[in-house]
Amino acid sequence: MALLSSLRALLLGAVLIAGQAVGAPTEYEIKAVFLLHFSRFVEWPDNAFSAPDAPFVLCVFGHDPFGEALDAAVRGETRGDRSIVARRIRDVAAARECHILFVHRSEDVRLAEILAALDHRSTLTVSDSIRGARRGEMIRLITENDRIRLRVDVDAVRAARLKVSSNLLRAAEVVGTRGS
Partner 1 sequence: MPARSVPIRAQLMKMLLLTSGMVLLFTCAAFVTYDLATFRQSITGQLSTLGRAIAANSTAALAFDNPGDARAVLAAFRADRSIVAAALYDTSGNLFASYPDDLMPAELPRTVQPDGYRFEGGYVVGFEPVVEGDRPLGTLFVKSDLSVIQERFSSYGLITGVVIALSALLDYLVAYRQQSRISEPILALAQTARAVSDRNDYTVRADRSNTREIDSLTEAFNHMLTQIERSEARLRAQMGRLSLLQHITSAIGNRQDLPSIFQVVLRNVEENLPIDFGCICLNEGASDALTVTTVGAASQQVSASLGLAEGTRVPVDVNGLSRCMRG
The residue ranges that bind partner 1 (CB under 8 A) are 30, 34, 37, 40-41, 77, 79-80, 147-150, 165, 167-168, 170-172
Residue 114 or 150: the one with the smaller Cβ distance to partner 1 is 150
Q: Residue 28 is which amino acid?
A: Y
Q: Smallest distance from the beta carbon of 41 to partner 1, in angstroms?
A: 6
**Which residue lies nearer to partner 1 by CB, 15 or 148?**
148
CB of 146 to partner 1, least distance (A): 10
Q: Residue 20 or residue 165: which is nearer to partner 1 going by CB?
A: 165
CB of 30 to partner 1, least distance (A): 7
Task: Name the minimum Å distance from CB 37 to partner 1.
Answer: 4
